[in-house]
Amino acid sequence: MAAIEMVNLTKHYKQGKNVIKALDGVNLKIESGEFVAVVGRSGSGKTTLLDLLGLLLRPTAGTVVIDGVDTSKLKDGDRATMRGESIGFIFQEFNLLPTLNALENVMLPLRYAKKDPQGPARARRLLDEVDLGDRVTHKPTELSGGQSQRVAIARSLVNNPALVLGDEPTGEVDSETSDQLLDLMRRMNREHGVTFVIVTHDMDIAQRADRIIRLKDGKVASDEPIAARELALS
């Protein structure tokens, strides 16, 4: 499980004479085991926020603290280790390797983390958990979009990460499949105690998170925990 603290988290891009404030002084705390949706218009900074949380980008200012570790103080190699061992990723276009079968795709992140003799057995078990136990040797071209994303969800969990990040993980599938993928992610969040942060522009999906963070022009425009939304509705 991961508790995440964003402190004055800032990412500016220089474009000629202009500075694009992709993320501008964000302060947020996400507790261990939360399921958070990040929403906002295109260009509001959602992907930048997620890439900073995933240690794929370094902030211009501020920091991300993961389980008490100030990641801005880590060297690149230590950031890569933390990324490989503690963070799982789910992408909009699934990003499965076409030459590998489902099981091999799930096992791929095992290469980037400390060797774990339980890894291959866990990969197999995760495929059962995402209900693809009968598709282990299927290649990505032999899987539907929803099945492909289920493989990707299993892959995101194979290193027992504390945190899973998803950038539009339901962006490529129809709404019924979207709903099923959200069921699955919520179940994995509950059963594995993993913190989830997903970006979505689909409010039906966002409404099923514990909390909705809305970005606007690189700043937090609103931050609503589900408890508050339930109170507002009652």
For residue 55, the minimal CB distance to Mg ion (Å) is 17
The residue range among 5-13, 39-47, 99-107, 183-191 that interacts with Mg ion, by the rule CB under 5 A, is 39-47
For residue 8, the minimal CB distance to Mg ion (Å) is 22
- Alpha carbon distance 132, 57 (integer Å): 33
User: Encoding tokens for residue 200?
Assistant: 């979505």
Interacting partner of 18 out of ligand ADP, Mg ion, none (Cβ under 5 to 8 A depending on kind) = none
- Alpha carbon distance 223, 215 (integer Å): 9
- Alpha carbon distance 36, 207 (integer Å): 10
For residue 57, the minimal CB distance to ligand ADP (Å) is 9
Which residues are within 8 A (CB) of 37 and not within 5 positions of it... i.e. 6 or more apart? 198, 199, 200, 205, 206, 208, 209, 211, 212, 213
For residue 169, the minimal CB distance to ligand ADP (Å) is 14
Complex with Mg ion: residue 47 or 156, whichever CB lies closer: 47
Interacting partner of 112 out of ligand ADP, Mg ion, none (Cβ under 5 to 8 A depending on kind) = none
Angle between helical axes of 175-192 and 145-157 (0-180°, round to 10):
20
For residue 215, the minimal CB distance to ligand ADP (Å) is 7
Give me the residue whose beta carbon is nearest to Mg ion.
47
Complex with ligand ADP: residue 42 or 141, whichever CB lies closer: 42
- 47 binds Mg ion, rule: CB under 5 A: yes
What sign has the CA pseudo-torsion 134, 187, 97, 121? negative
Strand 219-225 relative to strand 211-216, pairing: antiparallel
Q: Which of 170, 219, 229, 175 is nearest to 46 (CA)?
A: 219
Q: How many Cβ atoms sit within 10 Å of the Cβ of residue 12?
A: 14
Complex with Mg ion: residue 6 or 123, whichever CB lies closer: 6
For residue 103, the minimal CB distance to ligand ADP (Å) is 32
- Alpha carbon distance 219, 113 (integer Å): 34
Q: Which residues bind ligand ADP (CB under 6 A)?
A: 13, 15, 20, 22, 40, 42-48
Interacting partner of 192 out of Mg ion, ligand ADP, none (Cβ under 5 to 8 A depending on kind) = none
The residue range among 42-50, 87-95, 100-108, 133-141 that interacts with Mg ion, by the rule CB under 5 A, is 42-50
Q: Give the binding site for Mg ion (CB under 5 A).
A: 46-47
